[in-house]
Copies of this chain bind each other. A is one copy, B any other.
Amino acid sequence: MNTASFFTPVQTGLQEVEALLRSQSDGAHPDLGAALEHLLASCGKRIRPALGLLTGQMLGAPHDKLVTLAASVEMLHTATLVHDDLIDGALLRRGMPTLNARWSPAATVLTGDYMFARAAKLAAEADTQPLTKLFAVTLATIVNGELTQLFAARGVISRENYTRRIYAKTASLFEMSTRAAAMVSPVGEEAIEAMRQYGYHLGMAFQIVDDILDFTGNQEAVGKPLGSDLLQGLVTLPALYYIEAHPDDPNVRLLAEGRYGDRERIERLVEAIRSSEAVAGSLEEAKGFVQKALDWLAGMPAGEEKQALEDLARYTVTRKI
């Protein structure tokens, strides 16, 4: 299945989002404009704007507001990636050089800040106070999650901790996309809550699958070595499953002791996790989230948008595995 098929009902809207994103460097320093251009060209599949556009179109939201809102969400997402890549020292993202690979840390920090500012401006233009507040709260959630991860003792992690982390990292912005789109639609609180739940569950599934792909994915497509999370001391769901099932594996004990420096043994652990039942267990969990997303979607008005949101949810757990 080609991802493009979910996007068909919102093709026009996505093009407008693209144009709006690119207009955000108007009046800025030319080098900043070039950086934004580069970032917007390299960053992703526009799944967050598509989610907002599909939700709002399904629920009869005014088109212009939806486009502005979707651009705001994508700008916010890209801004967090810019700072993330700087923090991780990542040189590539999706096969393209990151900003920090080409620019100084100073310029990278400020470019991210500029994008936050533009995202906030777009959010304020899209609508009213509750939405701008939601925007700000979501940004605080994401950043607090990153800081918590930064401070956390590596390796030692509970399931609860993992759930909080992937909520902050991914599900919070998915949730915001669908919830905000419902908020600007002519619908009641119940529909807003249902679409918030859809976005939340989809986001949780999406990140779990990302974490599985870190073990099982096509190394070249992902652009990182297999098990890169674990090699950096980041314990995700497949590792949690494996740790629970094999507490006496000496390499598992290595993790608990925080000895990530022993690359060879961590690589052996990655291989063990990859060929264990942990992958299937994690995938089942992701499928559970997708099912809940579909359940929350069930009461929405039928049409091509709803169909696309269903397909998108199902695709989440089948992509690249």
The A interface is mostly helix, strand or loop, or mixed, namely: helix
Q: Chain B residues with Cβ under 8 A from A105's Cβ?
A: 87, 105
| Cβ-based interface call for A150 (8 A) | yes
- From A123-131, A211-219, A313-321, give the one contacting chain B: A123-131
With A29-B148, A109-B109 already in contact, the answer to whether A114 and B143 are too (CB < 8 A) is yes
Identical chains in the assembly: 2
Q: Chain B residues with Cβ under 8 A from A27's Cβ?
A: 144
A144, B87: Cβ atoms under 8 Å? Answer: no
Q: Chain B residues with Cβ under 8 A from A146's Cβ?
A: 110
- Complex Cα spacing A27 to B168, Å: 13
State how many angstroms separate the Cβ of A9 from the closest Cβ of chain B. Answer: 29
B147, A111: Cβ atoms under 8 Å? Answer: yes
| Cβ-based interface call for A187 (8 A) | no
B144, A28: Cβ atoms under 8 Å? Answer: yes
Chain B, residue nearest A132 (CB): B124
- Complex Cα spacing A130 to B118, Å: 14
Total A residues in contact with B, Cβ cutoff 8 Å = 44
Chain B, residue nearest A24 (CB): B140
With A106-B150, A107-B150 already in contact, the answer to whether A118 and B140 are too (CB < 8 A) is yes
Q: Chain B residues with Cβ under 8 A from A147's Cβ?
A: 28-29, 31-32, 107, 110-111, 114
State how many angstroms separate the Cβ of A64 from the closest Cβ of chain B. Answer: 15
Q: A113-B143, A116-B116 are known; give 7 further A-B pairs, CB within 8 A.
A: A87-B105, A113-B116, A114-B143, A117-B137, A123-B136, A127-B129, A132-B132
Interface residues of A (CB under 8 A from B): 27-29, 31-32, 80, 83, 86-87, 104-107, 109-114, 116-118, 120-121, 123-125, 127-129, 132-133, 135-137, 139-140, 143-144, 146-148, 150-151
> Can you give 5 contacting A-B residue pairs, CB < 8 Å?
A86-B109, A114-B144, A120-B120, A127-B129, A132-B132
